[in-house]
Amino acid sequence: MRSEQNQVYVLGSARIPFAKSMTTYRNVSRHELMAASLNALVDQYRLQGRLMGDVALGAVLNSSSEFNLAREVVLSTALHPDTPAYNVQRACGTGLENVWQIALKAHSGAITMGIAGGVDTNSDLPIEVSEGLQKAMLQLNGARTLIERLKIIGSLKLRDLTPKIPVIDEPRTKLSMGKHCELMVKEWGISREEQDELAMASHVNGAKAYAEGFYDDLVTPFQGLKQDGTLRGDTNLEKLAKLKPAFIADGLLTAGNSSPLTDGSACVLVANDVGASSLGLKPLAKIIDVQAAAVDFVKGAGLLMAPTKAVAQLLTRNRLTFADFDYFELHEAFAGQVLCNMKAWETESYCRDVLGLSSALGKIDRSKLNTVGSSLSVGHPFAATGARITGTLAKLLSQNGSKRGLISICTAGGMGIAAIMESVN
């Protein structure tokens, strides 16, 4: 999308405050959460009655009963009812994937404007029945006599009545993302203290940003919550050091240096020049390029190391170095994951042997990293995070004469997605 013809912009974004799962939003559905952010976007940017070219939304923890979630959410807003919408799922990269898809459509001229976003909640889980009960219910549906039905019911075992709760363990390794990250921090020699320091910085930066009003036009109060419920501006290294390992007995990952289970949603308004002009809105930032990548974690690669490849490919294609960026928005699934990725970019052998580069990418300036907080502090509703980060970076790039920002997100399945955005002027 480097061509200046049909340049694509972020015109604005909106989200609700993120909340720790099973707290503020425990009785709110994913549909209601997503509609709240989309309605906030419609109100803030006067989109009532507007026909969007397309709307891409997604949820990692979605239900089969909400197979048409995106379209149903659109119909719960004041957007023109003829606005099409569809669901997308790329694990924790869903929100950014949706921004990419809408941006590509606007860049091609197929549409002039669209909306991308995502939602997730662990308080409205799509609980399933066991495989045994599922088969029995299907057989019961086709049974013709009472004896047939009784025979089917009699074949059920007590364990068949136990519901299946969704888990985000990797199907091929049976390990959680946290356990995979424990393997990574061990491989890369990342200490507990380093992880706690990064977590504290995220909370400090997030709290400062809220205090200074940065989030005033990005976050719309919902259900009585005015700011992210996971944010702890008063945290310190002493408090973080007291927390016990969260995933393995002798591990280095804790609830403090891992992103919390979070409920929330976010969305982004994307348009080309024609769309921006028709809406009468000044673009905040340009979407320059996006890249997805994957690693073979089954054969030993770190599950959350794919962003190193996505970022390397982006920088190579666009002939940029870390020195060319004013902001680094690196999704904080775990503090350890961010630190492993950054250490890999600094390591000559990794950049040469794994990324195919002639030299190391180098260090990231920590003063430019997640300057207004990120997932460790504001929370991580899986599919919403990419949209949250895109909206945040767009606003940062519209201020202070900044020029360029980099987004990096790790996802389940050993994938990563990264993006480059630039200021408009």
**Among all residues, which ones are annotated catalytic?**
92, 380, 410
Question: Which of 56, 72, 172, 167 has its CA nearest to residue 117?
Answer: 56
β-pair partners for 128: 164
What Rg, from alpha-carbon coordinates, does the chain have? 22
Q: Using an 8 Å Cβ cutoff, are 45 and 9 in contact?
A: no
Residue 85: φ, ψ to 5°? -155, 155
Neighbouring residues of 160: CB distance < 8 A, sequence distance ≥ 6 = 130, 132, 133, 136
Say how far apart CA 399 and CA 367 lie, in whole Å: 16
Burial grade of 373 (CB within 10 A; 0-12, 13-18, 19 or more) = buried
Say how far apart CA 107 and CA 56 lie, in whole Å: 16
Of how many residues is the chain composed? 425
Burial call 242-281: b when 16+ CB within 10 Å, e when fewer: ebeebbeeebbbbebbbbbbbbbbbbbbbbbbebbeebeb
- Token output for 416: 């990563």
Residue 424: φ, ψ to 5°? -75, -35
Q: Using an 8 Å Cβ cutoff, are 418 and 311 in contact?
A: yes
Neighbouring residues of 368: CB distance < 8 A, sequence distance ≥ 6 = 325, 326, 327, 328
